[in-house]
C-alpha cells in the first residue's frame, strides 16, 4: 500500500503538546482519520487513533472509564487498580483503533505525516490559507452511494411484520404458548430434554 495523501489540521499554539490532527489516505481508496501529532521529549511523533478503554461495574453492569473511581450509574466504589499495566507499570487506558503492525510501516507513516505537518505549517503562514482536513465529506458521489444502498436493499431478505415482543408470526400461524412450542419435533414442558441421550 502507498500513502497517497496526508491532510493536516493544525492546533492552536497554546496547546501544550498536541500539535495537529491528521488523516492518511492509502492507495486513493482508504482513509484513516484522527491521527495526532504530539510533541514528545525527542521531537514530534504520530499517535494512532484510539478509544478509551472501559469495564463494567460489578454491582450494576454499567460501563465506566478505567480512571473512574465510582460507577456512573449506581455510584458503587470501583477498584482503582483494575486497569491492565504495560511493561513499565503504567495503566493501559486507551486502545488503538488502527495501527501499523511493524516498525517499518510505522516509520513510513510517521515520516510522511511529519513532512506534511512541516509543509502545512509553512502554508498556514501564507495569506488566504484554507485547511483541507475536513473536505472529505464533500467529495463523495451521492449517485454512486445511492446505487450501492439500492443494490444492498434489493438483496436483503424480507420477512413478515413483527408481533408484540418480537415474535415472528404470519397471518396463517397462531402464536404458540410456552407449553405447545416445539423443539426439534418434541413439545416443551414436561418432555423438555427428552431424547437427548
Q: What is the pLDDT of residue 158?
A: 54
Task: Give me the domain span that covers residue 80.
Answer: 52-96
Nearest-angstrom CA–CA distance, 186 and 56: 40
Q: Is residue 177 in a domain?
A: no
Say if residue 24 is in the same domain as residue 42: yes
User: Residue 185 has which C-alpha cell?
Assistant: 419435533
**Are 86 and 2 in a shared domain?**
no
Q: Is residue 29 part of a domain?
A: yes
Is residue 85 domain-shared with residue 7, that is, in the same domain? Answer: no
Q: 111 and 149 share a domain?
A: yes
Residues 41 and 107 in one domain: yes
Same domain, 115 and 42: yes
Do 119 and 135 fall within a single domain?
yes
Q: Are 52 and 65 in contact (CB under 8 A)?
A: yes
pLDDT in tens, the chain (197 residues): 799 999 999 988 777 789 999 999 999 999 999 899 999 888 899 999 988 888 888 888 888 877 788 888 888 888 877 777 777 777 777 778 888 899 999 999 999 999 999 999 999 999 988 888 877 554 444 444 455 555 655 655 555 555 555 455 554 555 454 444 444 444 445 555 555 65
C-alpha span between 46 and 159 (Å, rounded): 48
Specify whether 104 is located in the same domain as 91: no
Q: From CA 138, how far away is CA 140, in angstroms rounded?
A: 6
Q: How many domains does the chain have?
A: 2
Neighbours of 179 (CB within 10 A): 9
Query: 76 and 59 in contact (C-beta within 8 Å)?
Result: yes
Is 167 within the bounds of a domain? no
DSSP secondary structure string for all residues of 46-73? EEPPEEE-EEE-TTT--EEETT-SB-TT
* Statement to judge: residues 142 and 65 lie in one domain: no
CATH number of domain containing 18: 3.30.1120.40
Amino acid at each position: 500500500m502507498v500513502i497517497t495523501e496526508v491532510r493536516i489540521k493544525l492546533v492552536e499554539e497554546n496547546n501544550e503538546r498536541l500539535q495537529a490532527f491528521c488523516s492518511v489516505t492509502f492507495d486513493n481508496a482508504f482513509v484513516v482519520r484522527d491521527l495526532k501529532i504530539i510533541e514528545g521529549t525527542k521531537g514530534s511523533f504520530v499517535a494512532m487513533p484510539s478509544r478509551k478503554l472501559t469495564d463494567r461495574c460489578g454491582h450494576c453492569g454499567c460501563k465506566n472509564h478505567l480512571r473512574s473511581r465510582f460507577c456512573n450509574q449506581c455510584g458503587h466504589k470501583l477498584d482503582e487498580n483494575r486497569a491492565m499495566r504495560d511493561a513499565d507499570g503504567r495503566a493501559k487506558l486507551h486502545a488503538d483503533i488502527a495501527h501499523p503492525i511493524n516498525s517499518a510501516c510505522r516509520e513510513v507513516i510517521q515520516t510522511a505525516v511529519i513532512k506534511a505537518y512541516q509543509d502545512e505549517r509553512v502554508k498556514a503562514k501564507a495569506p488566504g490559507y484554507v485547511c483541507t482536513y475536513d473536505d472529505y465529506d464533500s467529495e463523495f458521489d451521492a449517485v454512486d452511494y445511492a446505487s450501492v444502498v439500492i443494490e444492498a436493499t434489493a438483496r436483503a431478505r424480507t420477512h413478515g411484520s413483527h408481533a408484540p415482543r418480537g415474535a415472528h408470526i404470519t397471518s396463517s400461524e397462531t402464536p404458540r404458548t410456552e407449553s405447545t412450542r416445539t423443539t426439534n419435533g418434541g413439545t416443551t414442558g414436561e418432555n423438555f430434554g427428552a431424547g437427548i441421550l
